[in-house]
Amino acid sequence: MHRPLRPVTSFDAELARLVTDMVATMRAADGVGLAANQVGVDLAVFVFDCPDADHRHQQGVVCNPHVILPEGHQRTLDDGEEGCLSLPGAFVPCARPDWARVEGLGIDGTPVAYEGDGLLARCLQHESDHLSGIVFGDRLARKWSRRLADEAASRADDFPPDWPVSAATETPRET
């Protein structure tokens, strides 16, 4: 998870199958976003289905993303809780800009752009980070990083070792 992924160069049936599988996995795991490296694929693509601050859902696929964040006096941080399907059940505060725009390519290779605030802004940044080899724990102060690790360890027995991949093939369970 700590290395940049290969750019997507083929917008073909194989990519479409991957994206379909990623969406199914994300939904089965009750996630709002999923990056290809979270399912063991070395391609710079993520999927998302996430509400913004006004509860409007956006969903999409972004290949080879470029994140645009506010700077200077336009930048306001949101220190809300963040989690990751790669560390299921663990949530800690993580400061991120409260608005983000991601530009990249869609599943067919045409340009796409998504922007928003609230959870959507957090999701777009989080998933783009994954593709660049950054996990959200890397952005935390030591205290919160330790708490994240402790919380993930305490919940580890609640999830299969190949989570979130197994989420798409499991029968529903209570947690």
The reply to whether 127 belongs to the active site is yes
Domain 13-160 is found in CATH 3.40.50.720? no
Which pLDDT score, from 0 to 100, does residue 170 have? Answer: 62
How does the average pLDDT of the chain come out, rounded?
Answer: 92
Give the CA distances from residue 11 to residues 19, 35, 170, in Å, rounded to whole numbers and listed in that order.
11, 17, 29
- Judge if pTM exceeds 0.75: yes
Contact 131, 44 (CB under 8 A): yes
Q: b/e string for 73-111 if b means 16 or more Cβ within 10 A?
A: eeeeebeeebbbbbbbebebebebbbbbebebbbbeeee
Domains of the chain by residue range: 13-160
pLDDT, tens digit (0-9, with 9 covering 90-100), for 69-105: 999 888 999 999 999 998 888 999 999 999 999 999 9
Contact 20, 47 (CB under 8 A): no
Which pLDDT score, from 0 to 100, does residue 1 have? Answer: 77
Per-residue pLDDT of the chain (175 residues; tens, 9 = 90+): 788 999 999 999 999 999 999 999 999 999 999 999 999 999 999 999 999 999 999 999 999 999 999 998 889 999 999 999 988 889 999 999 999 999 999 999 999 999 999 999 999 999 999 999 999 889 998 999 999 999 989 988 888 888 888 887 764 444 3
The residue annotated as part of the active site, out of 127, 151, 170, 174, is: 127
Which pLDDT score, from 0 to 100, does residue 156 have? Answer: 86
